[in-house]
Each structure stands twice: as structure tokens, then as C-alpha cells.
Amino acid sequence: MGAMIEGTQEQVHEAARRARTAAAALAPLSRQAKDAALHAIADALVAHAAEIVRANAADVTRAREAGTSAAMIDRLSLTEERIAAIAAAAREIAALPDPVGETVRGYTLPNGLELRQVRVPLGVVGIIYEGRPNVTVDAAALTLKSGNAVLLRGSSSAHESNVALVAAMRDALRRTDLPADAVQLVPGVGRESVKHLMRARGLVDVLIPRGGASLINSVVEESTVPVIETGVGNCHVYVDADADLDTAVDILVNSKVQRPSVCNAAESFLVHARVADAFLPRALAALRDKGVTVHGDARVRSYDPAVVPATEDDFSAEYLSLDISAAVVDSLEDAVGHISRYGSSHTEAIVTTSQRAARRFVALVDSAAVMINASTRFTDGEEFGFGAEIGISTQKLHARGPMALPELTSTKYVVTGEGHLKGA
């Protein structure tokens, strides 16, 4: 057993070393070279669609035999139409501006030195993710466009699909100026291979976990490689004392129902006591009409016997389903206190006609995005005008909010002089 673990570690580390070599070759390449590679990848995915679908069928069969839910099987499944859409997404990433080499700031110092801070690739990016095999291509395309090599570790449930997708991408890269080792699957399907990736400090520059809370927490707690947290969203809608109630009902329903299985869907709503009598009967009826189960505190339950008693776990939950928790609060500050206690620092929304209340909420809430009179569903790279994203960062260091191409870079300072020497 020990020899097997050591073998897995060496395989993972060897893949990481190849990725470092590829990253060094990739970093100075032009936008034209990277875009050509992305188009080649898109063409290869379409050309190999039939064999990718066959590989995916093996994953789907195994998932059905394991009793996997219909919703999860749908997320796992690939068709030739879905592969064409994945290829189109790669082409869309090719059309985005290249962040590498962009000057973040620059000026001439009083001593005549010219100073520029420019964007550079992170290097080797490890991505640990669950479920959907389309993430395999999205992650590879985003990291390549930003000049990085990527180590992909998808879930075992999609292993055959991921092997086929990565094989098609690597085959495409061999016909371009980009090194094939810029895109690799992490060797192994067991827990040990994930562990060795998380411990490959010095070989891997950053890890990005994409998935549920348990996956993200495991990577954050166990990794020695720097981690960018993404994805977990216990998002709130706060209906202020000065809210327009028609607007509030519409925003609440849209935030919860428009697509409940994603991280920017609302999982909780809070209502100021002053408008509870007018708002809650309408809101509860609107949510019920959409099939939403409300888990409420005693004050919310007093308006509708169908409301389920809320527990501490309910207020902390990222349901990703047609469920939502709810509470009545006595002030904006109480709403912020509730969000601070139970939220995940993803997205919070306030519905109000008061500029003062909006400013106060924005100042007090500590989250990656704050919406004023808008649905939480807008926290997204595409919606923000950034193009594709790798995920939503809920932490504060390096990147926060939608992680688009610029967030997949670091910076370096370039200082140009004319024989400048430092004096005493």
C-alpha cells in the first residue's frame, strides 16, 4: 500500500513538473498563438464528439447503476449538441481580451525611473472540481488564455469523459505553438491523488476548488498550496422598511427561482418588521406558487402555517433547491448581523427606495458583491461584462467576486532606468 501511495505521489508530482515546464514556455506566447490554440481545441472537440459521447456513456451508465439522481445525471451527460456548445464557449474565450502584458499602473518616478506594474500568468493552476465535464474544457480554455498551465482533477464520476476531453485538447495543442503539457489530467482517481496535488507546494502555484462546501472546505483545510475559494453561496435578499414591495416580491422570486441550483441563487430572505404585514403574505404566496418551501422563524410562520420551522442549519444552508430560509428583523443592522452570522460572503441584496439605507447596507455588509434593487443572480462574469469566469471567489486575497481572465494572473513590476544608481 505504501509503495502504491508513493507511486501516485510521484506521478502527480511528475505531472506538475511537466506543467511547470509548459507554463514557462506558454508565458511569453502572443495572444495570436493562444487564440489559435483555443480554436484548434474547439475544432478537435467537434471532430472527436462521437468518441467523447461514447466515453461519457460509460460514466452515465455507472452513475445510473449507483442510483445517482436524475438531475446529477443530466449535469454529467454529454451529447454532440452539448459538445458543440462547449466548443463554442472555447471560441468565445478566444475572442476575449488577453490580460497578459496589460499595464495595471505606470508612471515616471521623481528620479526619472519608469515604473510599470504588468499582468503576468500565475504559472501552474490546479483545479479540483465536481460533476459537470464541461468544466474540464472551460477551465482549460480560461487558464490557457491567461497564459497558465492547468492540472485538472475532476470527480471520478466523470473520469472517462474527462479523459476523452483532455485527450482531444492535447491532440489539438500538439498541432499549435502551445505545449501539450499545458493541459493535463491529474493522474489517479482516488483520494490520494487529490491529496498529493494539494501538497505539491512549489510545483503548483495555486489551487481553485469548484464544487460544494465539503469539497471547498477540504481543500482549504488540507492544502499546503495557496487556495482561492470559490462557489459556496448562502445569498440573502433583505427587504428594507422603505422597499417598494412589488419590486421586492419580483426580486425575491427571481433570486430564488430563476435557477435555484447555482451559487448566486438566494437561499435566505430577511424582512424588516415594519413591512412584514404588507410583504410576507404576498411573498409567501408568490414563492408557494413557484413550488418553493419556506423555512421560517416564528414571526414568518405566523403568516402562513405551511412555512416549515427553520433551524440553525437552515439559516446556514446552501440549499441549491426550491427551498429558502426566512426571518423578520427589527432593523437594517439586525439584517446585517444575521447575514454576518450565517452568510458565505458571496452576494447580498437590499431592496429599498432609501439611498441612506442602501449606502448603510453596502458599507456594513462584508461580501464579494452587494446588489441594490437587483437580483442576486447577476453575480456572474458574463453578467458583469467580464466574459467567462472560473468561479466566484468569496475570499479577500488576490481575487474577490467573479474570477475572469484578469483574476487568473498575477503582476510584476518592470522598472526602466538610464544607468540609475542608488545613492546613500
Question: Mind listing the domains of the chain with CATH numbers?
Answer: 8-230+399-415 (3.40.605.10), 235-378 (3.40.309.10)
pLDDT tens digits, residue range 221-275?
999 999 998 877 899 999 999 999 999 999 999 999 999 988 999 999 999 999 9
Confidence category of residue 395, pLDDT binned at 50, 70, 90: confident
Half-sphere exposure of 66 toward its Cβ, with a 13 Å CA cutoff?
12
Grid cell of 226 as nine digits? 495557496
**Residue 6 pLDDT level (bands cut at 50, 70, 90):** low
| 313 compared with 216, residue with greater pLDDT | 313
Question: What was the pLDDT predicted at 424?
Answer: 64
- Mean pLDDT (whole number) for 6-31: 93
pLDDT of the residue at 72: 83
Mean pLDDT of 146-172: 96
Strands in 140-253 per DSSP E: 149-153, 183-185, 206-210, 235-239
Confidence at residue 1, expressed as pLDDT on a 0 to 100 scale:
45
Q: What is the mean pLDDT of residues 343-360?
A: 97
Mean pLDDT of 177-201: 94
> Is pLDDT above 60 for 2?
no
At 267 the three-state DSSP class reads strand
Q: Which residues pair with 409 in a beta bridge?
A: 121
How does the average pLDDT of the chain come out, rounded? 94
Q: Residues 247, 252, 258, 263: is their CA dihedral positive or negative?
A: positive
User: Under DSSP, is residue 51 helix (H, G, I), strand (E, B) or coil?
Assistant: helix
Residue 188 near residue 6 (C-beta atoms within 8 A): no
Which of 293-315 are b and which e, b meaning 16 or more Cβ less than 10 Å from the residue's Cβ? ebbbbebbbebbeebeebeeebb
Give the residue-averaged pLDDT of 121-139: 93
Q: What is this structure's pTM?
A: 0.88
Q: Can you read off the three cell numbers belonging to residue 407?
A: 483574476
Contacts of 335 (CB under 8 A, 6+ apart): 236, 238, 270, 272, 329, 361
Q: What is the pLDDT of residues 153-163, one digit of tens each?
A: 999 999 999 99
Mean pLDDT, residues 129-157 taken together: 94
What pLDDT, in 10s, does the model give residues 55-102? 999 999 999 999 988 878 988 999 999 999 999 999 999 999 999 999
pLDDT over 50 at 410, yes or no: yes
* pLDDT recorded at residue 3: 45
pLDDT at 107 over 50: yes
Inter-CA distances, 90 with 39, 119, 217, Å: 7, 22, 29
Q: Residue 7: is its pLDDT beyond 70?
A: no
Q: Decide if pLDDT at 110 tops 80.
A: yes
pLDDT at 145 over 80: yes
Task: Give the residue from 80, 106, 75 showing the smallest Cα distance to 210.
Answer: 75
